[in-house]
Amino acid sequence: MLMKIDSFELYVAKLELKKPFITSLGVINYSDHIFLKVFSEDGEFGWGECSPAYFINGETLETCLAISKKLTDSIIGISCFSHELIQQKLDSIIYGNHSIKSAIDVACYDLASKSKKIPLYKYLGGELKKKIYTDYTVSLNDVDKMVKQARSIVKKGFKIIKVKLGDDGKKDVERIKKIRECVGSSIKIRIDANQGWTIEEAIETLKNINKYKIQYCEAPINREISYRLNEVKEASPIKIMADESLFTYSDAKMMVHGNHCDMFNLKIGKQGGIYESTKIIEIAEKNNIPMQVGGFIESRIIFTVNCHLGHTSNFIKYFDCDSPLFHKINPIIGGVEYKNDWELILPTANGIGVDIKKDFLKSCSKII
């Protein structure tokens, strides 16, 4: 059964956030989304999605739309099971453009696993053998506002908080000090500088906040100097996670060979889809590198994919899957369920286990 790809539909939408999301890279009030639906010749379908983040991968809604038709046309007639060939075809059209490629890749994986009548994690060779929990993010802000948000997050039952830092090392030390005093010693804290520190500032800041029991630090320095990330790793008492410096399989190999980090952060939209993510997972497993799965500000489609991936490797230990909770509305039917203790529960349906509400689709702009 080849299950050849027959056609695509593409929808565009903006989702407003409940409140501004602030990092050292800027302020976000809403997220752009492309929802992509792929059909096989027998009428089965799969969903994919991307939410381009120009400040991370250089892509916008406009750049994704400009190349989308050419990309989707290039894989018409190919089996939805031929993931490597699909990736090769997409890459032969244009370099990079990981966001829109990830939407296509994810849709094909959804179609393939639905066609096999199994959930995505099983299609990827995984098993449901562990419980997984998400963190929730404290936006970068004045210290008092960050403490207030941290307190509110803990009151909602979260046991893990992720704190955005990176605009000023000395202020960041004070932020972490006050947040730790507020939430107590039992709450796990992880931090993300979003490339905001210099090398010297990163080393000094990480040394100064180590006493506040920090799990790890994401992206301490600008990716343009990621060849020097090993200097931070070697001097830091806190583990370093590669994020914006890790896009491709080749990047992962360089991170390992240069001893640049302790951990990887996988994002479907950054990696370019599930296929490239599985290759990076292989490198991590071979080199005993723990991983986190996170994302941009996508809907439950992508964060459900994250949870499927999380059940394919024991090295995926950390889950940054709070973004769907930022939106004022949830346009998705099914998908990952957030339990009272913020455990992430996968749907039992085949494929990713998602669909999109018909009324919401009617409000979207249909491009293809």
Handedness of CA 359, 6, 64, 302 (dihedral sign): positive
pLDDT at 57: 87
% of the chain exceeding 70 in pLDDT: 100
Alpha-carbon distances, residue 190 vs 74, 79, 145, 156, 177 (angstroms) = 41, 41, 18, 18, 13
pLDDT at 127: 96
Please state the length of the chain. 368
Residues of the chain with pLDDT under 70: none
Distance CA 124, CA 146 (A): 39
What fold does the segment set 122-356 form as a domain? TIM Barrel (3.20.20)
Handedness of CA 198, 53, 239, 224 (dihedral sign): negative
Distance CA 125, CA 127 (A): 7
Q: What is the CATH number of domain 5-117+357-366?
A: 3.30.390.10
Taking alpha carbons only, the member of 307, 309, 255 closest to residue 284 is 255
Residue in the block written with tokens 């060779």? 125
Alpha-carbon distances, residue 46 vs 49, 82, 167, 295, 356 (angstroms) = 10, 15, 41, 20, 11
Phi, psi of 98 (to 5 degrees): -65, -30
Residue in the block written with tokens 């439950």? 300
Give the DSSP H/E element, type plus range, for residue 37.
strand 26-40
The span from the first CA to the last CA of the chain, in angstroms, equals 27
Domain ranges within the chain, ordered by starting residue: 5-117+357-366, 122-356
* pTM (predicted TM-score): 0.96
Torsion of CA 189, 193, 199, 202, to 10 degrees: -30
Taking alpha carbons only, the member of 92, 85, 76 closest to residue 41 is 76
